A and B are shown apart, each in its own frame.
Chain A
């Protein structure tokens, strides 16, 4: 028995040693400017992209009237230029499949404390049923602080997140591996002008929402209320079809009772029939520039009506990051 325990411990120690060696090798050997880790496994993410932009924001002390958090619906759906036209500065902190847990951590750890005048929390129902690993690994790779990256590992302990964090530690000085996206406009916003012409999927799947994500919406609201930061929940328009409507109804059935006691406004544009799938969307769920312009005008008007936004006394051009 002693021999078994001794050998098991030896193998465990050797495993840790070889794990670190292997992590060092795959993060230090690059082929065509991309680390071997990324070539070898889909769990490792490229350095760069929308998460990298976000990662460098905490050091930027610029004040914004509005910050947006949420998934790709956020970074493709809220145009800072539209807010500027109305006299408000805005930065978009949306990232790929950013679920409420990630949104909470982005808001509390990545967004600079002085930046939070109004938080627009984009609520996309589909992310409430998506595993967040892909999103977290991208953020772990790209956020500025190790402490923030560690929070993503603690938030959802998973071997892939531990691996991502290990590789992050070994490749802090890695160069950006994603070429600048031609669709990037400014302040975290990406735009597409093409239109979804193909038939959009219309098949309904019974959703299985992750209860923890609803809790993180509440935690985000509590955080804002505790720090006297106004927050508004927004669901942006979706193509109108039977599957989307049923899915959203199933979501609202769970979501509305959760937030009803918070006193927070929830602006739901998802069933707005003025948005046409063959004009205002680039694909099955994201608005194109035409749709974004239309939606943002509507949103800003509603925020002004609700007095969530008030005409700024400061010129936006004084604040904006170019």
Chain B
């Protein structure tokens, strides 16, 4: 079920009302049932895959806690390997096979393995990582093993964050399923505000740009450089609005029922450094990789060489996490290199002065540079292949002139239409921090409750009237 669907418009109030009407002891069962229904709207049978990982990690957690010595480690590795195996089969097997077949044909080995005809279960990478964080935390002794199978299942399946995060930690969310939540105005108000803002970002901004981006990226050689450049900037806005919009809706939907999920985005395009960008973009994933991959690899210890190596490994894996395609791996490695270079710059006095500077012009230039570096990375992320990504980059830097005046869906627009789209995208980037603050801060002196209501009513009216109501899934669902 999509958050921006008619079904969810019915599902959400019904589940929320039932949640508060039911006695506390039955609420977990209601949420679990609702989560199953929510997930089964995609491909119903795939819920069995989810149950496999739930069963493995539920028992692994118990066994880890109940055993001592080396056995604990064995159970941990059993859990990690079997959970990752599910991910590998459904997400990476065909990628692995196609690369294997290509290498085999290159070395003249006349042998090929057939790819599997399977569809990737929605949000598989998200709930796999959430499961793994549970067993790792139990192993580390930071979290007690959950003995209630239903509550543990709910930890993995809680519908607001089931298919696209935020990837929660057991310490943050598990105990909340035992707490008795009551109807609270503050939770309702904050939650619904977040949901409205998230929906606005998704259907008004992201989805209205999606068609233009697709038209441009479908024919990188046929369009002029300015379209390629515009398509890349539009994609930067689209992916941010799409994913942060989903996160806001997830956090908001949970908040209405009294649950607090972790923040996933914090106006990342206003970062002055790549490191700062990664502390504000997809925070739950960045911190997951930091805690469970980067630090175990050695983190900052072992000198600069080891640190740089670890960063590159983490970002290469992070790229692969996003999708079974070399475009994602290159995108990840590129960000790894950005960080390595930034690490070297941090040894210079001028860069330290730059990071500490409070001058607005310095900050503005810094943000623009980071935004452009990140947008450059998005070209690899969005392109249909590595080859296409290089064609786009070449097209932009050689000021390519294309044969198509207005490619694909752009045929409907002339310069006036595009100017309006650009104005909306730019205006959004500047309004975003303000609304981000409003949706998270209780008291803003210049915004009384009536003005606040007007603001959200305007957003809701814009969503209804100018939202894109076709079939556009959330980009991160595929991961």
Binding site for B on A (CB under 8 A): 1, 3-4, 7, 10-11, 14-19, 21-23, 26, 31-32, 34, 36, 39-43, 133, 158-160, 163, 166
Contact (Cβ within 8 A) B453 A3? no
User: Once the chains are docked, how many angstroms separate the CA of A309 from the CA of B457?
Assistant: 59
Q: Please state if A159 and B464 are interface contacts (CB–CB under 8 Å).
A: yes
Contact B456–A11 (Cβ < 8 Å): yes
Q: Is the CB of A39 within 8 A of B420?
A: yes
Residues of A within 8 A of B469 (CB): 43, 158-160
* Further contacts, 18 of them, CB under 8 A, given A26-B465, A42-B412, A159-B467: A1-B183, A3-B185, A4-B188, A4-B189, A7-B453, A11-B456, A14-B453, A15-B464, A18-B457, A18-B460, A22-B461, A22-B466, A32-B416, A40-B420, A42-B208, A43-B469, A133-B470, A163-B465
A-side contacts of B413, CB under 8 Å = 39
For window 377-397 of B, CB contacts with A under 8 Å fall at none
B417 within 8 A of A: yes
Cα-based distance from A42 to B456 in the complex (angstroms): 24
Which chain B residues lie closer than 8 Å to A31 at the CB level?
Answer: 416, 420
Return 7 A-B CB contacts under 8 Å, by A number. Answer: A11-B457, A11-B460, A18-B454, A22-B465, A34-B416, A43-B469, A159-B464
User: In the complex, which residue of chain A has the Cβ closest to the Cβ of B196?
Assistant: A11
A7 to chain B: which residues have CB within 8 Å?
185, 189, 453
A18 to B244, CA, bound (A): 25
A1, A3, A41: which contacts B468 (Cβ < 8 A)?
A41
Chain B: CB-nearest residue to A163? B465
Give the CA-CA distance A17 to B420 in the complex, in Å.
24
Option from B417, B465, B468, B470 in Cβ contact (under 8 Å) with A39: B417
Write the chain A residue with the least CB distance to B212: A42
| Residues of chain A contacted by B467 (CB below 8 angstroms) | 159
- For A1, the closest partner residue in chain B by CB is B183
Q: How far is the CA of A51 from the CA of B188 in the complex (A)?
A: 46
Q: Does B462 contact A (CB under 8 A)?
A: yes
B461 contacts A15, CB within 8 Å?
yes
**Which residues of chain A come closer than 8 Å to B464, judged between CB atoms?**
15, 19, 159, 163
Please, which residue of chain B has its CB at the minimum distance from the CB of A167?
B465
A19 and B461 alpha carbons, distance in the complex (Å): 5
Shortest CB–CB separation between residue B20 and chain A, in angstroms? 9
Are B460 and A39 neighbours in the complex by a CB distance under 8 Å?
Answer: no
| A39-B417, A42-B412, A42-B468 known; A22+B456 contact, CB < 8 A | no
By a CB distance below 8 angstroms, the chain A residues around B462 are: 22
Chain B proximity of A227: nearest CB distance (Å):
36
Confirm or deny: B211 has a beta carbon within 8 angstroms of a beta carbon on chain A: yes
**9 closest residue pairs by CB, A with B:** A14-B457, A18-B461, A19-B461, A15-B460, A15-B457, A18-B458, A39-B417, A4-B188, A41-B466
In the bound complex, what is the Cα–Cα distance between A39 and B183 (angstroms)? Answer: 43
> Which chain A residue has the least Cβ–Cβ distance from B450?
A10
Closest to A160 in B: B469
CA A11 to CA B452, docked complex, whole Å: 10
What per-residue 1/0 map shows which CB atoms of B194-219 lie under 8 Å from chain A? Answer: 00000000000000100100000000
**In the complex, what distance in Å separates the CA atom of A248 from the CA atom of B409?**
28
- Inside 8 A of B457's CB, which chain A residues have their CB? 11, 14-15, 17-18
Contacts of A158 in B (CB 8 A): 469
Q: Evaluate contact between A4 and B461: CB separation under 8 angstroms.
A: no
How many angstroms from the CA of A36 to the CA of B465 in the assembled complex? 12
Report the Cα distance A42→B420, complex, angstroms.
13
The closest CB in chain B to the CB of A40 belongs to B466
The smallest C-beta distance from B218 to any residue of chain A, in angstroms, reads 15
Contact check, B183 vs A4: say whether CB atoms are below 8 A apart. yes
CA distance A79 to B363 in the complex (A): 66
Interface string of B405-437 (1 = CB under 8 A from A): 000010011001100100010000000000000
**Chain A positions within 8 Å of B420 at CB level:** 31, 36, 39-40
Residue of B with least CB distance to A158: B469
Which residues between 201 and 259 of chain B lie within 8 Å of chain A, taking CB atoms? 208, 211
* Chain A proximity of B187: nearest CB distance (Å): 10
Shortest B152–chain A CB gap in Å is 32
